[in-house]
Chain A
Amino acid sequence: MRWLNQVVQITLINLRNVPQRMGTSLVVVIGIAGVVGVLVSVLAMAEGFRHTLASTGRPNRVIMLRAGSDAELSSGVPRDQATLLANLPAIARDAAGRPLASAELVVMVDLPRRGQTDPNNVPFRGVQPAALSIRDEVRIVDGRPFERAVREVIVGRKAAQQFAGLEVGSKIAFRDSDWNVVGVFTSGGDVHESEIWADAEVAQSAFRRQGFQSVTATLADGSDAGLAALETAIKRDPRFSISVLREPAYYAKQAGVLSKLISVLGYTVAAFMAVGATFGALNCMYSAIASRQVEIATLRAIGFGGAPVVVSVMIEALLLSLIGGAVGGTLAYVYCDGATLSTLNFNTFSQVAFDFRVTPGLLAQGFVWALLIGLAGGLLPAVRAARLPVTVALRTS
């Protein structure tokens, strides 16, 4: 009890004279805020990217590609096979008895970013009528859906934000054709929001394609047995050379390389900055201790123990680092959360737009880093303060 009392007393004295040492204390706070801010921002980017791909698709839906292809762009499904696939019994049907399957054509179109002129590979997806009822997360938020058999497109919300000329009512020119933008859609923040959609038949004639890239369908039975039934039906028919994947599995695969790259970059930068900031914090705590050497020695001379001195210095360091962590996390939240970035996904060779996501988990991680830096930066100076012989400390002034 006495020991605890000593800790409380010394800590209070320390904290009360922090304002006199405002400069050095502020330096600790800013240093740690810098590290946490950068760490959280970079990881928020990785998290946003991962989230966009992870939230794409539903487990009861499958995407069918040519066997051997890992991405839609390199896949090809001939028209006749697409029709056969859609009519397999393992595929669900709507109330009117039509299969819930959409054979889709994916091509890349060149569009400049807003305010720039360089072209970007924006995915253009030709979809069959069932596409909108299969993907019930798709909502038209502006304008209307495209009409069949005319050159009309709807654009994903993020594509409309990132690329020039995608407002409702504007015309875009691809190949020797002009397309009218008639609507903007959202799909829960997933990858489709980076795409442009049109009627598959019109797209095929405009881009002079015969086949499709993929078939997306709802399973009649979403369980593993339902998936197995579909796989068996495909395997049994020698006309098919098709691989089936649940949508979430397919899109998770597309995140691979880029996701890893962003996280590695984020953690490397943060680790180096943390080391740098730890040196800074050490410096500041050392000088804080040095300027109070006589004071600390006096306390010890009148009977305060060494341990309470150590603990109180540590408490001060940790409090300062917590403030730094809070400042850094807040800055990252204010500046980054919700910011949209578009980049080239190497796996699909097409643009994907995503939002930075500053999640509570990331903020917590930021605080952990802040505390670790505070711990490392405070420990050595604290021990030094407690171990310096009282007589030596009192003599030097």
Chain B
Amino acid sequence: MKYLPLLWAGLFRKKTRTLLTLASIVVAFLLFGLLQAVQMAFESGADAADAKRLLTTARYSIIEPLPIAYLKRIEQVPGVVGVAYADWFGAKYQNESNAFPVFAVDPERYLAMYPEFTIAPAHREAFAKTRTGAVAGVRLVERFGWKIGQPLPISSEIHAKQDGDLNWQFDLVGVMDAEDPAVRGNTDVVLINVAYFDEARQFGRGKTGWYIERIADSGQAKEISTAIDTLFMNSPDETKTQPEKEFAIGFAKQIGDIGALVTRILIAVFFTILILTGNTLAQSIRERIPELAILKTLGFSDGKVTALVVAEAVLMLVLGGAIGMAAATALLPVVNGGTGGRFPPLFVDTATWVWALGIALGVALAIGLPPALRARRLRIVDALAGHR
């Protein structure tokens, strides 16, 4: 710690140069923070998954419906402690297809299945009691400026009412939120009451989209999944049951390898930064060879001089990294506002900070070691004799 002033002086020996280098490091880490947040948003489903939840969909394609009669049979499977179900409404709002997902659910079963969604008890009760009731995620409510109690006109691209009309109307009776920012994106839905929906729709009555099961012991997920699927084997509607996490990972993979793409971009970014910063540091050390020689003359050991040079690189990278990550953290709420809730919420989590620190140290070593080793090998006489 006592060498900090010395390091600082060395670093800011040429102010412009150091500030410019610092700026490009800041930009690199800012980009790192932002891109990691985007990547996490694509994979957040898997992180927010509850190990005690299973998902049952039609075996051959997740868009095929399943009979509602399966509910009673799934409930009897040993180890299953709760079952909910949901159906895809195919919403079109203000003429925009899939502006947000709408699920037709049994209110009590569904909200009990997702305890991470917070909803006021009065709202919960109103939803259960109102046949035409609907509850919406807080980000949707903010995005469209909805008010509790207002009618919610939503069209369906799939389901017509008895008279063939695709325009439905619900009453907004509640708002859902979540404390964990990783979960909040999952509340970007409108839930409607299946009792009303199923009775009023023209086709597909008695069917639902998928089932969600809560199990007592996550260690038994495999056995219980198999037990459920065995129930319906060789029936016209075979099922595929899997832990929620597996389903989320599988779905994220459908989007393709966003992770690999982001990683490649970041490698290009950090490679470029490595070259830029490495060159500057090497040059700065070259210019200070006489000074280093003097340090050695004063009695600094070879090891200490090496450590000083590496420490300078570490200081610069950690400083730039911290500023960059802080900027990303500050910027993301603005980005979230800008997307208008069309995209899951982006945020920098602890893991990203840890990664950033790791990368900063790695890059610092990569660019600090070569000049540090040169400084170590330096012979005092030669260094003081030559100009360089």
Partners in one complex: yes
The residues of A with any CB-CB pair to B shorter than 8 Å are 23-24, 27, 30-31, 34-35, 37-38, 42, 67-71, 73-76, 107-110, 113, 116, 118-121, 174-175, 208, 241, 257, 265, 268-269, 272-273, 275-277, 279-280, 282-284, 286-287, 341-344, 346-347, 349, 351
Residue of B nearest to A69 (CB): B157
Answer whether residue B98 sits at the interface, using C-beta atoms and an 8 A cutoff: yes
Complexed CA–CA distance, A306 and B168 (Å): 74
Out of A38, A116, A175, A208, which one reaches B265, CB within 8 Å? A38
Cβ < 8 Å to A, chain B residues 1-54: 16-17, 20-21, 23-24, 27-28, 30-31, 34-35, 38
Out of A69, A119, A120, A279, which one reaches B24, CB within 8 Å? A279
Complexed CA–CA distance, A276 and B31 (Å): 10
Q: Are A107 and B275 in contact (CB under 8 A)?
A: no
Q: Which among A34, A42, A76, A276 has the greatest number of chain B C-beta atoms within 10 A?
A: A276
- In the assembled complex, which residues on chain B have CB atoms less than 8 Å from the CB atom of A113? 253
Out of A68, A107, A341, A342, which one reaches B155, CB within 8 Å? A68
Q: Are A344 and B254 in contact (CB under 8 A)?
A: yes
Complexed CA–CA distance, A108 and B64 (Å): 9
Answer whether residue B250 sits at the interface, using C-beta atoms and an 8 A cutoff: yes
Q: Are B265 and A347 in contact (CB under 8 A)?
A: no
Residue of A nearest to B279 (CB): A27
> Given the known A-B contacts A119-B250, A279-B24, A279-B27, are A343 and B255 also in contact in the complex, defined by CB atoms under 8 Å?
yes
- In the assembled complex, which residues on chain B have CB atoms less than 8 Å from the CB atom of A109? 60-61
Given contacts A35-B272, A113-B253, A280-B24, 18 further A-B contacts (CB under 8 A): A24-B279, A27-B275, A27-B279, A30-B272, A42-B265, A108-B61, A109-B61, A118-B250, A120-B253, A269-B35, A273-B269, A276-B272, A276-B273, A279-B23, A280-B272, A283-B20, A283-B24, A343-B256
Cβ < 8 Å to A, chain B residues 121-161: 155-158
- In the assembled complex, which residues on chain B have CB atoms less than 8 Å from the CB atom of A284? 276, 279
Complexed CA–CA distance, A71 and B60 (Å): 21
Q: Are A279 and B20 in contact (CB under 8 A)?
A: yes
Out of A31, A67, A119, A282, which one reaches B272, CB within 8 Å? A31
Q: Are A68 and B249 in contact (CB under 8 A)?
A: no
**A to B CB contacts below 8 Å, 19 in the list:** A31-B276, A34-B269, A68-B166, A69-B157, A70-B97, A110-B61, A120-B254, A174-B60, A268-B34, A272-B30, A276-B276, A277-B24, A279-B27, A280-B21, A284-B276, A286-B16, A287-B17, A346-B98, A347-B97
B310 to chain A, nearest CB (A): 21
How many of B's residues come within 8 Å of A, CB to CB? 47
Q: Are A121 and B62 in contact (CB under 8 A)?
A: yes
Complexed CA–CA distance, A364 and B374 (Å): 43
Answer whether residue B280 sits at the interface, using C-beta atoms and an 8 A cutoff: yes
Q: Are B24 and A68 in contact (CB under 8 A)?
A: no
Q: Are B279 and A23 in contact (CB under 8 A)?
A: yes
Complexed CA–CA distance, A37 and B268 (Å): 9
B227 to chain A, nearest CB (A): 21
Answer whether residue B271 sits at the interface, using C-beta atoms and an 8 A cutoff: yes
Complexed CA–CA distance, A314 and B250 (Å): 52
Interface string of B226-255 (1 = CB under 8 A from A): 000000000010000000000001100111
Q: Are B97 and A342 in contact (CB under 8 A)?
A: no
Complexed CA–CA distance, A167 and B62 (Å): 24
Q: Which among B97, B236, B256 has the greatest number of chain A C-beta atoms within 10 A?
A: B97
Complexed CA–CA distance, A32 and B265 (Å): 14
A196 to chain B, nearest CB (A): 12
The 9 closest A-B pairs by CB, nearest first: A34-B272, A74-B157, A276-B27, A280-B276, A343-B256, A118-B250, A279-B24, A70-B97, A344-B254
B184 to chain A, nearest CB (A): 20
B53 to chain A, nearest CB (A): 19
B371 to chain A, nearest CB (A): 13
> Given the known A-B contacts A68-B166, A121-B254, A280-B24, are A31 and B155 also in contact in the complex, defined by CB atoms under 8 Å?
no
B282 to chain A, nearest CB (A): 8
A393 to chain B, nearest CB (A): 16
Answer whether residue B164 sits at the interface, using C-beta atoms and an 8 A cutoff: yes
Complexed CA–CA distance, A279 and B20 (Å): 5
> Given the known A-B contacts A71-B97, A120-B254, A343-B256, are A283 and B61 also in contact in the complex, defined by CB atoms under 8 Å?
no
Out of A23, A75, A118, A265, which one reaches B253, CB within 8 Å? A118
Q: Are A34 and B256 in contact (CB under 8 A)?
A: no
Answer whether residue B63 sits at the interface, using C-beta atoms and an 8 A cutoff: yes
Q: Are A175 and B60 in contact (CB under 8 A)?
A: yes
- In the assembled complex, which residues on chain A have CB atoms less than 8 Å from the CB atom of B155? 68
- In the assembled complex, which residues on chain B have CB atoms less than 8 Å from the CB atom of A241? 164
Answer whether residue B283 sits at the interface, using C-beta atoms and an 8 A cutoff: yes
Interface string of B94-106 (1 = CB under 8 A from A): 0001100000000
Complexed CA–CA distance, A24 and B276 (Å): 9
Q: Are A283 and B27 in contact (CB under 8 A)?
A: no
B141 to chain A, nearest CB (A): 22
Answer whether residue B214 sits at the interface, using C-beta atoms and an 8 A cutoff: no
Complexed CA–CA distance, A110 and B92 (Å): 26
- In the assembled complex, which residues on chain B have CB atoms less than 8 Å from the CB atom of A74? 90, 97, 157-158
Residue of B nearest to A277 (CB): B272
Q: Are B31 and A272 in contact (CB under 8 A)?
A: yes
- In the assembled complex, which residues on chain A have CB atoms less than 8 Å from the CB atom of B62? 108, 110, 121
B150 to chain A, nearest CB (A): 23
- In the assembled complex, which residues on chain A have CB atoms less than 8 Å from the CB atom of B61? 107-110, 121
- In the assembled complex, which residues on chain B have CB atoms less than 8 Å from the CB atom of A120? 253-254
- In the assembled complex, which residues on chain B have CB atoms less than 8 Å from the CB atom of A341? 256
> Given the known A-B contacts A30-B272, A121-B61, are A269 and B279 also in contact in the complex, defined by CB atoms under 8 Å?
no
Residue of B nearest to A331 (CB): B268
Complexed CA–CA distance, A73 and B64 (Å): 11
Complexed CA–CA distance, A287 and B35 (Å): 32
- In the assembled complex, which residues on chain B have CB atoms less than 8 Å from the CB atom of A118? 249-250, 253-254
- In the assembled complex, which residues on chain B have CB atoms less than 8 Å from the CB atom of A347? 97-98
A259 to chain B, nearest CB (A): 14
Complexed CA–CA distance, A23 and B280 (Å): 10
- In the assembled complex, which residues on chain B have CB atoms less than 8 Å from the CB atom of A31? 272, 275-276
Q: Which among B90, B275, B282, B342 has the greatest number of chain A C-beta atoms within 10 A?
A: B275
